[in-house]
Structure 1
Amino acid sequence: MIPIGLLSMTKHTVPTDNNRKVVTQWQIIGAWNPTEPLFEVLNSETPRDTRVYFTIAVDLVVQGIQEPIRFVFEAKAKIVTTSAADRFWINIPTLSKGKPFHEQFHVQLRERVNSEPNSRFDVVSCFSATQLSHQRHKLALRLRHDGSQQPSLGDRRDSHRSSVTSLPTPSNDESEDNDEPLPSGTGVVSKECTQTELDGWSELLIKWHQNLTLRPKQVQTLVKRGIPEALRGEVWQLLAGCQDEVTLMEQYRALINRESPYEKYIERDINRTFPAHEFFKESGSLGQDSLFKLCKAYSNYDTEIGYCQGLSFLIASLLLHMPEEQAFCVLVKIMNEYGLRNLFRNGFEELQLKFYQLERAMDSVLPELYSHFADL
């Protein structure tokens, strides 16, 4: 987000249509640098039949609350030109029709004990009616699909703070503590290849192993078509650049012998991870043992992330294609060098951002599908 310089803020008292109530309105005028790359979308006309999202965030200082509360307003808009001088204007359809754009917010506060007058309350959550509506639609969709409420993401509630702007996540401690496996499938993704494709992969891997520092040009084309199941372990290690990570492998062997504070969560989750797959479905099997050790090792390796529900599926997918030590090396690489680690960080802000981006992309590109899910 780029800060906008505040030029003026004026207060107006406006009567409503029936003259029974007076509404106070604030007119806020700001300025920004139009050459900033992030504002490029505002400096070009919106294509026909499409919209952009215009978001305004207002930080409100409330007496008795130490930190400002952020209220976020979002509306579909269209950038239009009004003259040959390429002067661009933001047209919000709701406002252009003479209707006020309004949003209702729900703020949950918690009173502090023996607090100072200017910090009497803590903000537990702040979300809009629109966000709550979307959350209810998602929950209804999960309930209809699963027949029961699924556990919320993350088992680190005691050690991780909640984000002030996060949505309230419906939870059920009893459902989280049972041992019923989640309907997560088998984890199998088969890829049938023609002889020509297999010959192409064989030629590529021979060339790649001759010079591990140089990625062959054909990699991108072949990967887009799908990696043959038998080659995924080798190709994933080459793509991640960890085919000779002797140091990480030695670290893994040491980490699995250390106790982890997340062991009880890991033990619970391994029964829920691809329970229909032969490698993982038997309690005490080689697959479950490898999954437990790898989850524990990573929780000791990355103490900030520790272990979080969801990691077990990522780790299990690797174990289906390579031994434990190699899987640990690939996990460390993709978590740190491919940005996956940020999805599991404190508060899950990055994960919520990805969900938001997916939702907005679906609304923009596939509006009928988005409306279908929202109406379920």
Structure 2
Amino acid sequence: MVTANRFWSQIFGVAFSNKRWLHFFMLFVPVTGLWMSALGVVGLALNLRAYDFVSQEIRAAEDPEFETFYTKNILLNEGIRAWMAAQDQPHENLIFPEEVLPLLGFGGIYHALLGPETLEESFPFFGYVWKDRNKMTTILGSICILGGIWHILTKPFAWARRALVWSGEAYLSYSLAAISVFGFIACCFVWFNNTAYPSEFYGPTGPEASQAQAFTFLVRDQRLGANVGSAQGPTGLGKYLMRSPTGEVIFGGETMRFWDLRAPWLEPLRGPNGLDLSRLKKDIQPWQERRSAEYMTHAPLGSLNSVGGVATEINAVNYVSPRSWLATSHFVLGFFFFVGHLWHAGRARAAAAGFEKGIDRDFEPVLSMTPLN
């Protein structure tokens, strides 16, 4: 508590007049934690309740009167999409959850009665096309120029002047921290993003390799006669197909954690509610089988233990994908830049506080040693 009071008084120029107010302020932390924990418990309950067998979708397709838990309760995102789509054209037979109405009612009424159909009708400035590279560079360049002028003409707030150290080495430490953050962010993008970093060039992502293996085994066992729509796995969930927390049909097994993967070789097999069972039975193309088999055996896993169910057998031994190299190098360099930030930040703060003396040369150990010659 004392440390917190000193921190706020030094950084923001304020101090709590008594311990009661300080305790009340610090109560914000555990209260926030309990609130987030409650949300997590509710989300977990919904997710566990949402998992179900794909056979329910088969029954729903055969029996129009059959409704699952998903269509009644947790397809909030489907309801939102339906509401937004209804602004353009009517949709029939859409089950719209009542919980959505209070959230979207006001906005829907406003845009239906008063708001423009497109934003640029009222504000022409927003009529640009994001794919227009020339327009985008103009917008970004204008923002950067205006930002530069702003920072030349203004000075930092008082709390920033008190909190930060203003020296060359301090600026170096800030720059190192920024580069470190960029490195960690780039690592995550390289590892998970197969749009900016196509799998054709960098190899599959970890989730993509996991989903590819599930797809490969589904194709194999389906040809051997397995009913992939209703087969039950050892945990009681669907062996090949199951439900996501929001009701989409996804691959079953350990790869369920990667159910939100999007990949060019898999998207043609999706329908409006996830993977389409009829397409999986009739429309799988040879190129999709080859691509998934290639990705399954060239996962960017290295020596990771949490492999999403990917078989770590002989086909993947001694293989390190370009995606692994790129992601790992960004992470390692980001970490080293972070260490450099800590080093130079400590030196800058010590110099600003006036207690950086450097090495005392009078007591240097080498001075008491015998000369080499």
Which category of TM-score, normalised to the shorter sequence, fits these structures? under 0.3
Larger strand percent: 1
Larger helix percent: 2
Larger radius of gyration: 2
RCO comparison, higher one (Cα < 8 Å, 6+): 2
TM-score by length of 2: 0.24
TM-score by length of 1: 0.24
